Structure 1
Amino acid sequence: MTASAPGTARPATMTRTEQMLSRPALPLILAMAAPNAIAFLVQGTVSMTEVWFIGHLGTAALAAIALMFPGLMLMQMLANGAIGGALSSSVARALGRGRKDQAEALIWHGIVIAVAAGGLFWLLWWLGGAALLHKLDVTPAVIDDALLYGHILFGGSVALWLMGIIAAVYRGMGEMRFPAVVMVLGAFIQIPLSGALILGWAGLPQLGVAGAAVSVVVTMGLMAAVLLGRLTGSSQVLRLHLSRFALQRALFADIFRVGALASLSPVLTVLAIAAVNVIVSGFGASALAGYGIAARLEFLLIPMVFGIGAAMTAIVGTNVGAGRVARAEQVGWTGGALAAGLTGSIGLLLAVAPGLWVGLFTDDPETFSAGARFLQIVGPVFLFQGLGLALYFGSQGAGFIQWPVFAALVRFVVAIGGASLAAYGFGLGLDAVYACIAAGMLLFGAITASALRLGAWRRAAPAH
Structure 2
Amino acid sequence: MTAANASPAFAGKPVHPLLAGPILPTIIRLSIPNMMAMVATAAVAVAETVYVGLLGIPALAGMALVFPMVMLQQMMSAGAMGGGVSSAISRALGAGDEARARSLAVHTVLIAVGAGLSLSALFLLFGRQIYVALGGAGAALEQALLLSNTLFAGIVAVWLCNLLASVVRGSGNMRLPSTTLVAVAALQVVLGGTLSLGLGPFPRLGMLGLGLGQVLAYGAGAAWFFVYLMSGKSRIALSFSGVRFRPDHFMDILRVGALACLSSFQSVLTVLVLTRLVARFGEAALAGYGIGSRLEFLLIPFTFAVGVSLVPMVGTAIGAGQADRARRAAWTGGLMAFLITGTIGLAGWLMPTAWARLFTTDLAVIESARSYLVWAGPAFGFYGLGLCLYFAAQGAGRVLGPVLAGSARLITVALGGWWLVATDQPQWMMFALVGVSMVVYGLATAYAIARTRWGGVRG
Taking structure 2 as the reference length, the TM-score comes to 0.93
1:134 matched to which residue of 2?
A: 132
1: distance between equivalents of 2:72 and 2:136? 22
Whether the 8 Å contact between 1:388 and 1:449 is mirrored in structure 2 is yes
2:50 matched to which residue of 1?
A: 52
1:7 matched to which residue of 2?
A: none
1:433 matched to which residue of 2?
A: 430
Q: SS at the partner of 1:362? A: coil
For 1:435-450, what aligned pairs fall within 5 Å after superposition?
Answer: 435-450=432-447
Q: SS at the partner of 1:263? A: helix
1: distance between equivalents of 2:359 and 2:200? 28
The change in CA–CA distance for 1:460 and 1:121 in structure 2 (over 3 A counts) is farther
TM-fit CA distance, 1:103: 0.2
Whether the 8 Å contact between 2:353 and 2:367 is mirrored in structure 1 is no
2: distance between equivalents of 1:136 and 1:391? 32
2: distance between equivalents of 1:217 and 1:352? 41
1: distance between equivalents of 2:155 and 2:357? 35
1:20 matched to which residue of 2?
A: 18
2:179 matched to which residue of 1?
A: 181
Q: Find out whether 1:151 has 2:149 as its counterpart.
A: yes
Candidates 374, 378, 381, aligned match of 2:379? 381
Q: Which amino acid aligns with 1:153?
A: L
For 1:337-376, what aligned pairs fall within 5 Å after superposition?
Answer: 337-376=335-374
1:3 matched to which residue of 2?
A: none
Gap regions ≥5 residues in structure 2: 1-9
1:5 matched to which residue of 2?
A: none
2:208 matched to which residue of 1?
A: 210
TM-fit CA distance, 1:459: 4.7
The change in CA–CA distance for 1:310 and 1:232 in structure 2 (over 3 A counts) is same
Whether the 8 Å contact between 1:313 and 1:396 is mirrored in structure 2 is yes
TM-fit CA distance, 1:80: 0.7
1:6 matched to which residue of 2?
A: none
Whether the 8 Å contact between 2:86 and 2:166 is mirrored in structure 1 is yes
TM-fit CA distance, 1:156: 0.9
Provide, for residues 43-91 of structure 1, a one-character-per-residue CA deviation record: whole Å limited to 9, x for no partner. 1111122112212223221111111111111111010111110110000
2: distance between equivalents of 1:222 and 1:300? 28
2: distance between equivalents of 1:163 and 1:429? 45
Whether the 8 Å contact between 1:109 and 1:247 is mirrored in structure 2 is yes
2: distance between equivalents of 1:347 and 1:122? 38
1:4 matched to which residue of 2?
A: none
TM-fit CA distance, 1:256: 1.2
Q: Find out whether 1:457 has 2:454 as its counterpart.
A: yes
Whether the 8 Å contact between 1:291 and 1:370 is mirrored in structure 2 is yes
Percent identity (aligned) = 38
1: distance between equivalents of 2:172 and 2:81? 17
1:85 matched to which residue of 2?
A: 83
Taking structure 1 as the reference length, the TM-score comes to 0.92
Whether the 8 Å contact between 2:321 and 2:455 is mirrored in structure 1 is no
Q: SS at the partner of 2:241? A: helix
For 1:28-427, what aligned pairs fall within 5 Å after superposition?
Answer: 28-135=26-133, 137-422=135-420, 424-427=421-424
TM-fit CA distance, 1:183: 1.1
Gap regions ≥5 residues in structure 1: 1-10
Whether the 8 Å contact between 1:351 and 1:375 is mirrored in structure 2 is yes
Whether the 8 Å contact between 2:34 and 2:178 is mirrored in structure 1 is yes
Q: SS at the partner of 1:457? A: coil
2: distance between equivalents of 1:136 and 1:235? 46
1: distance between equivalents of 2:288 and 2:204? 31
Query: Which moves more between the two structures, 28-37 or 190-199?
Result: 190-199
2: distance between equivalents of 1:429 and 1:33? 41
The change in CA–CA distance for 1:427 and 1:92 in structure 2 (over 3 A counts) is same
The change in CA–CA distance for 1:73 and 1:136 in structure 2 (over 3 A counts) is closer
The change in CA–CA distance for 1:85 and 1:371 in structure 2 (over 3 A counts) is same
Q: Which amino acid aligns with 2:241?
A: S
The change in CA–CA distance for 1:244 and 1:396 in structure 2 (over 3 A counts) is farther
The change in CA–CA distance for 1:169 and 1:136 in structure 2 (over 3 A counts) is closer
Q: Which amino acid aligns with 1:101?
A: A
Whether the 8 Å contact between 1:398 and 1:460 is mirrored in structure 2 is no
Whether the 8 Å contact between 2:385 and 2:442 is mirrored in structure 1 is yes
The change in CA–CA distance for 1:63 and 1:244 in structure 2 (over 3 A counts) is farther
